[in-house]
Structure formats: structure tokens, C-alpha cells
Amino acid sequence: MEYEPVIGLEVHAQMLTRSKIFCACSTAFGGDPNTHACPVCTGQPGSLPVLNQKVVEYTIRAALATHGAIAPYSLFARKNYFYPDLPKGYQISQYELPLSSAGFVDIQVDEDKKRIGIIRIHMEEDAGKLMHDLSTERGAHSYVDFNRTGVPLIEIVSAPEMHTPEEAAAYLRKLRSILMFLDICDGNMEEGSFRCDANISLRPKGQKTLGVKTELKNMNSFRNVQRALDYEIRRQTALLDQGERILQETRLWDAARGVTSSMRGKEEAHDYRYFPDPDLVPIVVDPEWIAAIKAGLPELPDTKKERFIREYGIPEYDAEVLTSSKPLANYYEACLQVYAKPKIVSNWIMSELLRELKRDEREIEEGPVPAQNLAEMLKLIDEGLISGKIAKSVFEEMYRTGKKAEEVVKEKGWVQVTDTSAIEKSIEEILAKNPKEVEEYKKGKEKLFGFFVGQVMKATQGKANPQLVNELLKKNLMVS
Amino acid sequence: MEFCQMTAHRLGELLRRKEITSKEITRSVFDRIEKVEDRIHSYITLLPDLALKQAAEADARIQKGEAEPLTGIPVAIKDLICTQGIRTTCGSHILDNFVPTYDATVTVRLKKAGAVFVGKTNMDEFAMGSSTENSHFGPTRNPWDLERIPGGSSGGSAAAVAAGECILSLGSDTGGSIRQPAACCGIVGLKPTYGRVSRYGLVAFASSLDQIGPFAKDVEDAALMLNAISGYEPRDSTSVNLPVPDYTKFLINDIRGMVLGVPREAFGEGIDPEVEATVREAIRTLEKLGAKMVDVSLPHSEYAVAVYYIIAPAEASSNLARYDGVKYGFRARGAYDLLEMYKETRSQGFGSEVKRRIMLGTYALSAGYYDAYYRKASQVRTLIGRDFEKAFAQCDALILPTAPTPAFKLGEKVDDPLQMYLSDIYTIPCNLAGLPGLSLPCGFAKSGLPIGLQVLGNHFQEEKILRVADAYERNTDHHLRKPNL
């Protein structure tokens, strides 16, 4: 039978505030264990949480950027469960009245555009980190690092409106890009500042009611989300085809083995016993504050894309790629400041620069070619100092060394030869050396023209201006 | 009279006139402790060295003329208020080795005021109880009758003041844990409005109900302590940013024209006839002093105990989850895995009443029961609050008994939790509504046991209940009687 997958995603994004959500401890990543910890975030008896206003502001930013409604009154709730990385025995989260609901993001897969609903966005605190040492002489020990407890997170819950792994990946990319455009999340999936769990079920094509879902965890890249969903679709399809039932359960993705395996079933699911946290007062957001936050929102990917198409006349595909991340869009516009030919810049970024970055798995901010340098190199082509062909080598060298185009050109002696007499001298020599070919050319074998160009370019080590070579060759061949 | 039997305001005068020193008062208190503590057991931890050091510092401060009203006054602190470097047990085995790394806000305020710390007082484990029998460290006894309970959960703090083992003390009140022991021990106890005193550093029992407040020998002393501990503090999100008046300014011995409400429900089923007669007599006294008495009704208060025993355990089940053996306190040895460590630590670390309430609360919050229990209880709580709103539209304060009976015998109710819970029938509604309430002595039963009169006020109107209580006190002498130890 043919099945339709139904996918919903829960994203946890770490907010880029300097201090934690309920205390003044630093959120900096990578400190020595338990150096960013205080009575509040280690759950000392008698300690109390106080809400970091910045977290509310960032959440409102995320909500407005995804067209969500801001609740005039919302509550924190306690999610109760026991685990050593959870010092209070409960996580402060939001449950019945989240800060935002009913948003959406627009995605595009190939030519298809789609709108994916966001059910809710809420604030919560992160848990700590466990470290297991199996090697000590006294026997195995486990340690808890509370540096991460209380780091602010937002949870963004999508509607179950995606039907392919590609759509899920597109949604995640879009969401991540929006959060990064807003400067509220660094989007780092490996360090866990942007994490995703997926709910997936299958139903016979055409059926309205949802099938039994599984929840997938432990996917730390877009690729793994896609792989895990692909696997799960195959697994569930096979089960259904054999007439078996899908169990409602939580499954862990194993990236090394490329499979999901059951972590806990429905019976073992926690009863979190949510209730409003009596230590925190209701969040009542002033509409004027929302308006101020809205007014301060930066240009977001969709708007920027439309503007790039409109203002720079580049194709939609180019605009989509260039606005997929804020640093990339900024890079593009910085180039245009110096060199105002949008399509040429776009071509160079999309083909040369992004290829190099992708190969080295580097981000554009880490790239060794600043926008200014790329733009100046493009100017050198227009000025005739280097050829478009040589420019590719110049660019590679700039990328490798971090040097400016002019330096590279000078060091390597790649300046284009535009001196007519030098080129003519070279042509004369070539024609003298190859009388047979000259004869044949004159008899009508015009294909040989390319041979002569090649020889001249070779003799000038590729630096001769190709246009000049063409002109002068034609002239010389006619004469001789 | 020995210094230890005197009030803080009287001792403060003598200190400022330099007729006595804080060291002398402190010695008097520790002499008294020496004599009576083994019979009463008010304290879990005594701090004689710290107290004498603080007394010396207070004396130096007084010499410089920089004394505040509590400078040099020996105070006792309930053992669920965090004191940096001083063990804070909550009366529980699970925290019997817990030494806080920080001071509660009230601790900081008392230190700044120059108070002298006598010790940490005994209590029902995690403040769950009405008799102080649920302490891991053994019960406290009532100074008026050693066979009887001092009330609870702040029984140690109440008994210490009544027995002269300190001048003032702090307790906490979640469902009556200050007012009921004050009544049992014949002293003044005040639960402030929810949000008046910072809860930062108060080990939570039921966060939406807990409030720290004073025990004192008279109303003026209670006002002095309230002055010292009240006020907004940003580390407690539920503390309220309202100015704190000097509460002693309202002790004017004049209640003419004040309107006092007597709830129709105040003398219900189960009330001891002597308590009823004594409280009715107190109401007549207030009337004679010029107050206008009106009948009011709190129709939903009959559900208060039921509502309380859903909400308080629900919050407690979550608040007490942190005692898991991982970070501090007791950890059971020998567990072979995490789950067993949790189970053994909590089974061995908590006493039976605490376990009962954790189970009650866990049940009330469970999927499928939440709506019927926790949500319903929250709704009724709102109705109870509205009853009070209506009542306070007609009057300045409410007058009712503090407890249905005088102090009962040790062991009498310990096996009957429901009877024990009913000890708080008159004190619980005030916590559910977040109101301030005060208990002061209004007479004695034939047995010689004190009886408490409860005065409740509207939110942040502590001055009104203090004014009523002070006028009553100045025109009666119940507060002057001392237990014979």
C-alpha cells in the first residue's frame, strides 16, 4: 500500500543571553565543571528562580518572526521527573499557557512552496551534563556538571504538516536561519544549541486520521534528521505492509549504524505531573513592549530574498541561496558595496567561495577571503589586469593564503599581458615555427586557429589578454 | 525578672541606656537553656559561641550609638531558614548534615539588624505537622505542660520564646504553623501577607503558601521583628514591592471605630467549649474597647482543609524532589543503581508524614487526576479568596479562634492524620488567601493551657491586625502569665 508520512518537529534552541534564565550565572560554553553554578541553578534548598527578562524578549522576537501570537498572560510550569542532571527534580518550563502560539514558516522544496504551522513556542531551562568515568580505581563514577543547568531554551513545536524528510529538513533550515537572523541563537547543532526531535507516523494515502507515531531523538545534524526519518519511514512501511502495528514509543537514532532503536515505550513514558510553578509570577507582556520589539526586528530571510530579487535583479535561486544565512547575505551585500554587479558577485560566491567553504566545512565568517577582497579581485578583471580564467587561480590562492588579489597577482606574476608588441613578437615566433600549419590554415583549415591561440597562450604562460591574441593572430595570419 | 523573660522592646531600652549589655542578656538566655532545654527540646542546634561573639559585636555597636531595635537581642531561627555555615536540617534525616552555602534574606536582615543568633529550632519535618512530633530529632514539649505538644510545625520557635530560651524567634506558616503553636504556647505569632517577607532561603514546603513570620512575647515585639524582616526583595519573584511602614507606629491602644468581623463559621463543629467561651469573651472585650462588631460569612471555608491538603502536598511533592541523594544531604549507601539510590535515599531519609504528603501530592498531580484534584482545588481556593474579599469590604479585621482546642497530648493524634489536620481548620483559609494573620493569648483553659485569639487582616494590612491585637493586649494580662518550669 502507499503511505503518507506525517512529520512534526520539536526544536530546542538555546538563547544567546549572557546569563541563565533564572539566575545571574554565565551561559558561556566550555567553562570548568560547576564554575558557572550558584544556589539557584544547583537547586539548593531555599533558593528561588527569578526570570531573565532578556529571555522573554528573545522568545517574543522568535514568535514575531514566525508570525506567532503573543499570549497576554502566560505561565511557567514544573515538569517533574528524577534525573541526576536535573538538580531540582523538575524542569521549569511552560505547559498550559505558553508565551506564543499559532505561528508559521514558509518553506520551499524544489519548486514546491509550503507553509508549516507552529503550534507553540515556549521558554524553559536546560538541564546539566553527566560525565561517566569508568576507569577510576575506586570503581566507576558519574559526575554532574551544572554549568548548563538553567541555560535558556525555547521549544518550538511545529504542526504535523510535513510529509517528506526533505520538507522536514527545509523547515529546520528555515527555522534555524530565522533564529540566527534574529541574533538569538547561534544555531550550532553539534554543540546542541539547536536540537531537534521528530514525531513521525504513517497513514494510508488519502486517509485523514493520523497513524500511531514514534518520537525520534538524538539527531545532531540536518543530514541525520533526514536519514533518521528516511529510515523510520522504511521501517514503519515494512511493518504496516506485514500487517503489524506500530508501537507508540520513543526511538533513538544511531548515526553510526544508521538505524533507530526503541528507548522507551508508551507504558514507560513519564507522567510529568505538570503544574504552575508557584515560585514564579505570571508573565504579563505589555503590548507596547511587543510593539517595540517588533519595530526592532531585523530583515528576515523571506523579506531579504524578495528584496535581493527586486533590487539586484538576480534569479530566485541565487537569492534563496544568498539569504540562507545572515553572514552570507551580509557578505554578498558587502561585496556589492565595492563592486556593483550583482549577478557576477552572486556567481563567484555561489560557485567558487561556497565550494571552497563546503569542502573545508568552514563558515563564511571563518573564510579567509573578506568581501572587500573578493570585490577588489572582480574589479581587477574588469580593469583587464587579470583574465577571468586566471582569476579563478587568483581566488584559490587568496582563499589559501588570505592575501589580497593584487598581492597574489604581483607575487605570481599573473598580470595579464596587454602589451601588443610582446604578444606580436610571440605570434611571429609561433608562426615561423609552424609553417605547415600556417599553410593548412590558409588553405581553409580554420580549426587550426585554436591551435595558434593555444600556442601563444602557452608561450605567454596564459597571461596574454585573450582578446588581443585573437585580434593580432587574425591580422598576422592574413598578412603572412 | 530575668533578662531572658523580658521583651525585646524593654531590653532594647535598657541596652540603649547602657544599663545592661547584650552579653548579659545572651548569658541569661543560655543559662535558661541550660536549666530547661533538656525538658523542652526547643532546639536542634545551639550556637553559644556565635551568640557570644555577636553579642560582643552588638555591644560595641550600641556603644557607638548605632543600635537598631533588635541590636543585641537573642533570637532563634526555625531550622528551615538557611544560615550560611550553620547546619539547616528542616527537622529531617535527609538534611541532617546539610550546611547551607548562603544566608536566607531574613537571616541577612537579622544579621544587619545586629541580632544575636541563639540557635536553630525544632520543627515538624519540612514543616509538615501541627505538633512538632514529626521531627527526626524528637519532639518539642509545651512549656505549660510537658506532656503536651507545643503546636507545630514551628513548635521549637514557639516553645523557645514561651520558655525564655530566646527573646524573639522566627517561624514559618504554611497552614497555621506560626499561629497555632503561638496559641498553644501562650505567645504572639504573626504570619505576614504572602509576599511581605522574602522567601529566599526559606526551604520550601508549599511555595504558594509559605511565609516567614515572628514569635514574640507581646504585640510590640512582633511588630519590631516584622519591621526587621519585611520588604521587597528581587530574589523572590513573589515578594511584593510595597513600602514597609514602621509597624510600631500603629500600636496606639485605640480601636474605637474599627469594624471587626466575626465569621459565622468561626465556632463550628469540633470546637472545644472552653475555647469558644474564651474567644467570645475576647470579642466582648474588643467591643468594650470601642470596636464595632459585625457578622460576616466565609461560606467556602468549610472546604479549606480539603483544598489545602491537595495544594500543599502537590507543591511539596515537587519541592521535595530535589532531595535525591545526588547533591547534598543524606544518601543511602550500597545501592546498585540510580533508581535504587533514589528509592533507598528517600525511603530512609524522609519520615512517614512527609512520605504521606509526597504521595498525596504526586497522586493529585497525576495524569487523569489533575483536573479532579489540583485544578478543582485551585478553583475553590479562588472562591475562598473571594469570600475574604467580600468580608473585608465590610470590616477592618476578622476575629476568630486560632485553634479548635488547646494543646493536645503528645501521641494523642500522631496516628490519626485527619484529626491532626483539623488542628489547622481555623488557620488554613488565611494561607490559601495569602492574608496576614496573628494569634495572641486571650485566656486559659481550666487545665492552665493557653488559648489563642486569631486576628486576620486584608492583604498588606498588618498594621490593622497589630493595632487590634495591641489594644486587646494592653487591656488584658494574659500575655503576662508565664509557664512554671
**A331-353 pLDDT per residue, tens:** 999 988 898 889 888 988 888 88
B109 and B187 assigned to the same domain: yes
Contact B102 A44 (CB under 8 A): yes
Contact B235 A281 (CB under 8 A): no
**Residue A465 contacts B where some CB pair is shorter than 8 Å:** no
Does B485 reside within a domain?
no
Q: What distances in angstroms separate CA A437 from CA A230, A476, B323, one per listed residue? A: 61, 14, 95
Contact B370 A46 (CB under 8 A): no
**Residue A275 contacts B where some CB pair is shorter than 8 Å:** yes
- Nearest-10 Cα torsion for B358, B361, B363, B365: -140
Q: What distances in angstroms separate CA B278 from CA B145, B186, B284, B297, B332, one per listed residue? A: 20, 13, 10, 21, 50
The per-residue pLDDT for B219 is 98
CB pairs under 8 A between A and B: 100
Band of residue A270 on the pLDDT scale cut at 50, 70, 90 = confident
> Catalytic residue among B92, B153, B172, B317, which?
B153
Does residue B327 have an active-site annotation?
no
Delimit the domains of chain A by residue range. Answer: 3-291, 299-412, 420-479
CA distance B101 to chain A (A): 8
Helix axes A420-433, A435-442, angle to 10 degrees: 90
* Angstrom distance (rounded) from CA B385 to CA B370: 21
Does residue B78 have an active-site annotation?
yes
Does B103 reside within a domain?
yes
Q: Residue B328: its chain A contacts at CB < 8 A?
A: 44-45
Contact B365 A280 (CB under 8 A): no
Better-scored residue on pLDDT, B151 or A401:
B151
**What is the rounded average pLDDT of the residues A223-249?**
93
Does B265 reside within a domain?
no
Q: Residue A45: its chain B contacts at CB < 8 A?
A: 82, 88, 90, 95, 98, 100, 203-204, 322, 328
Q: Give the domain CATH number at B69.
A: 3.90.1300.10
Q: Which residues of chain B have pLDDT under 70?
A: none
Phi, psi of B33 (to 5 degrees): -60, -45
Cell numbers describing residue A406: 593584487
Q: Residue B104: its chain A contacts at CB < 8 A?
A: 46
The per-residue pLDDT for A160 is 96
Dihedral-angle region of residue A67 (phi above 0 means left; psi in -120 to 50 means alpha; beta otherwise): left
Helix (H) or strand (E) holding A309: helix A301-312
**Residue B333 contacts A where some CB pair is shorter than 8 Å:** no
Contact B327 A46 (CB under 8 A): no
Q: Residue B236: its chain A contacts at CB < 8 A?
A: 48, 50
CA distance A253 to chain B (A): 24
CA distance A37 to chain B (A): 12
Does residue B249 have an active-site annotation?
no
B315 and B451 assigned to the same domain: no
Dihedral-angle region of residue B162 (phi above 0 means left; psi in -120 to 50 means alpha; beta otherwise): alpha
The per-residue pLDDT for A418 is 65
**Residue B327 contacts A where some CB pair is shorter than 8 Å:** yes
The per-residue pLDDT for A433 is 85
**What is the rounded average pLDDT of the residues A28-32?**
87
Instruction: Identify the closest residue of chain B to A86 by CA–CA distance.
Output: B322
The per-residue pLDDT for B258 is 98
Burial A2-34 (b: 16+ CB within 10 A, else e): ebebbbbbbbbbbbbbebbbbbebebeeeeeee
The per-residue pLDDT for B461 is 98
Does B268 reside within a domain?
no
CA distance B280 to chain A (A): 37
Q: What distances in angstroms separate CA B195 from CA A73, A76, A164, B229, B238, one per listed residue? A: 20, 18, 52, 12, 6
**What is the rounded average pLDDT of the residues A136-144?**
80
> Catalytic residue among B22, B28, B42, B78, which?
B78
Band of residue A479 on the pLDDT scale cut at 50, 70, 90 = low
Question: 3-class SS at A271?
Answer: coil
CA distance A90 to chain B (A): 7
Q: Which of B265, B244, B247, B201 is nearest to B438 (CA)?
A: B247
Listed by number, the residues of chain A in 2-41 with a beta carbon closer than 8 Å to a beta carbon of chain B are 39
Does B364 reside within a domain?
yes
In this complex, the residue of B104, B321, B342 whose CB is nearest that of residue A88 is B321
What domain count does chain B have? 2
CA distance B216 to chain A (A): 24
Residue A480 has pLDDT above 60, yes or no: no
* Angstrom distance (rounded) from CA A287 to CA A290: 5
Residues A47-91 have pLDDT tens digits of 999 999 999 999 999 999 999 999 999 999 999 999 999 999 999
* Angstrom distance (rounded) from CA B436 to CA B397: 10
Contact A87 B322 (CB under 8 A): yes
Best-predicted range by mean pLDDT among A110-124, A133-147, A256-270, A447-461?
A110-124
Better-scored residue on pLDDT, A455 or A237:
A237
B74 and B125 assigned to the same domain: yes
The per-residue pLDDT for A417 is 66
* Angstrom distance (rounded) from CA A297 to CA A224: 31
Q: Residue B317: its chain A contacts at CB < 8 A?
A: 80, 273
Contact B317 A46 (CB under 8 A): no
Instruction: Identify the closest residue of chain A to B233 by CA–CA distance.
Output: A50
Instruction: Identify the closest residue of chain A to B315 by CA–CA distance.
Output: A278
B374 and B307 assigned to the same domain: yes
* Angstrom distance (rounded) from CA B273 to CA B446: 11
* Angstrom distance (rounded) from CA A166 to CA A169: 5
B33 and B135 assigned to the same domain: yes
**Residue A89 contacts B where some CB pair is shorter than 8 Å:** yes
Question: 3-class SS at A144?
Answer: strand
Instruction: Identify the closest residue of chain A to B199 by CA–CA distance.
Output: A46
Architecture of domain A420-479: Orthogonal Bundle (1.10)
The per-residue pLDDT for A416 is 67
Dihedral-angle region of residue B18 (phi above 0 means left; psi in -120 to 50 means alpha; beta otherwise): left
Boundary-marking domain end, from B378, B413, B444 = B378
Q: Residue B321: its chain A contacts at CB < 8 A?
A: 80, 82, 88-90
pTM for this entry: 0.90
**Residue A44 contacts B where some CB pair is shorter than 8 Å:** yes
Which of B96, B237, B330, B379 is best to mutate for the A interface (most A CBs within 10 A)? B237
The per-residue pLDDT for A355 is 86
Domain that holds residue B399: 3-258+394-427+435-480
**Residue A410 contacts B where some CB pair is shorter than 8 Å:** no
CA distance B454 to chain A (A): 27
Q: Name the residue type at position B479.
A: H
Q: Residue A78: its chain B contacts at CB < 8 A?
A: 318
Residues A405-455 have pLDDT tens digits of 777 777 777 776 666 777 778 888 888 888 888 888 888 888 888 888 888
Listed by number, the residues of chain B in 229-248 with a beta carbon closer than 8 Å to a beta carbon of chain A are 234-238
Does B85 reside within a domain?
yes
**Residue B310 contacts A where some CB pair is shorter than 8 Å:** no
The per-residue pLDDT for A34 is 95
B342 and B245 assigned to the same domain: no
Residue A136 has pLDDT above 70, yes or no: no
Q: Are strands A259-265 and A77-80 parallel, antiparallel or unpaired?
A: unpaired
The per-residue pLDDT for B477 is 95
In this complex, the residue of B206, B234, B318 whose CB is nearest that of residue A78 is B318
Question: 3-class SS at A402?
Answer: coil
In this complex, the residue of A43, A48, A275 whose CB is nearest that of residue B200 is A48
Contact B327 A43 (CB under 8 A): yes
In this complex, the residue of A45, A50, A274 whose CB is nearest that of residue B237 is A50
Residues B367-406 have pLDDT tens digits of 999 999 999 999 999 999 999 999 999 999 999 999 999 9
* Angstrom distance (rounded) from CA A196 to CA A198: 7
DSSP B367: T
B398 and B340 assigned to the same domain: no
In this complex, the residue of B82, B95, B208 whose CB is nearest that of residue A278 is B208
Contact A275 B104 (CB under 8 A): no
Q: What distances in angstroms separate CA B47 from CA B75, B113, B386, one per listed residue? A: 11, 18, 45
DSSP B375: I
Contact A46 B208 (CB under 8 A): no
Listed by number, the residues of chain B in 64-123 with a beta carbon closer than 8 Å to a beta carbon of chain A are 80-82, 88, 90, 95, 98, 100-102, 104
> Catalytic residue among B42, B157, B177, B230, which?
B177
Band of residue A32 on the pLDDT scale cut at 50, 70, 90 = very high
Instruction: For B35-69, give the secondary structure using H, E and C.
Output: HHHHHHCCEEEECHHHHHHHHHHHHHHHHCCCCCC
Does B264 reside within a domain?
no
The per-residue pLDDT for A354 is 85
Q: Which of B353, B364, B361 is nearest to B416 (CA)?
A: B353
Does B294 reside within a domain?
no
Other Cβ atoms closer than 10 A to B99: 14
Cell numbers describing residue A448: 587550426
